[in-house]
Structure 1
């Protein structure tokens, strides 16, 4: 499968919000799905850098966001049918100076698939905490020395 990683244009944002809503409702099954809203995407990405992955036929497969002041990967969401195809890896590679820069993220404890993905890409657990969606692990990617 071929895809491109690019910054979204305004016309893409509603679709990114749809993906964010659908994946959260599908993945975070322990949270009341009615707590997730379409408009969350716009509130949760304020001031963040955003990249999307688009298939060669023009479908948006998913996206990633970065809060750049802290090198914090805030979101990486893929439509279910595109998970496990290397697109998440492609999005990580879009990060500035990847893999020569330290990055952090939080991953919900119950999201085993995501935790495995990040571990496979060199992230290690460096802390823990709790949120309204459940307990999470803080994970950090340390560049090779």
Structure 2
């Protein structure tokens, strides 16, 4: 029997969301970035990565299950992470739409080339590859939406 999915609400981040988002970010990166050593990821990384950014939080039963962060001056999406147990339930797509309703065009983001599930996700959402480069974590593709 299939479990019924709880309703999803996306809201702007508040201070009460931060402890849960720290844990979600830590666990999601350990699961997604298997080519990097897990000890590289720290609980406080969330605070550093999202500092001064806009953050949307996906909630189910008032519990954070994903987030997206972006830097409005550059129309740049910096992070999109979903609880690993809830991947492929539409949460990432809902977060992306939430952000795209609030950010200018063209919108860009970087995705590591080794993160093939994320690249497939963005391609399915209409993003196009417009460039590439090297970062600390490896080669990335620059993706754009709304060109």
* Partner-residue secondary structure (3-state), 2:34: coil
The size of the alignment, in residue pairs, is: 142
1:101 aligns with 2:122: no
More displaced stretch, 116-125 vs 93-102: 93-102
Cα offset, 1:47, TM superposition? 0.8
* Partner-residue secondary structure (3-state), 1:125: strand
> Counterpart of 2:90?
86
* Offset from partner CA, 1:87-110 (integer Å, 9 cap, x none): 111111112536983210000111
Given that 1:66 and 1:73 are in contact with CA atoms closer than 8 Å, whether structure 2 keeps it comes out as: yes
* Offset from partner CA, 1:8-53 (integer Å, 9 cap, x none): 2111101111111111111111111111111111111111000000
Give the alignment's Cα RMSD to 1 decimal.
1.6
Structure 1, unpaired ranges of 5+: none
TM, length-normalised to structure 1: 0.91
Given that 2:27 and 2:84 are in contact with CA atoms closer than 8 Å, whether structure 1 keeps it comes out as: no
1:30 aligns with 2:35: yes
> Counterpart of 1:8?
13
Given that 2:75 and 2:104 are in contact with CA atoms closer than 8 Å, whether structure 1 keeps it comes out as: no
> Counterpart of 1:64?
68
Shift of the 100–132 alpha-carbon distance from structure 1 to 2, 3 Å rule, reads: closer
Given that 2:72 and 2:103 are in contact with CA atoms closer than 8 Å, whether structure 1 keeps it comes out as: no
Distance 1:109 1:19 in 2: 22
What is the 5 A alignment of 1:123-134?
Answer: 123-134=127-138
* Offset from partner CA, 1:34-74 (integer Å, 9 cap, x none): 1111111111111100000001x222111000011101000
* Partner-residue secondary structure (3-state), 2:99: coil
> Counterpart of 1:20?
25
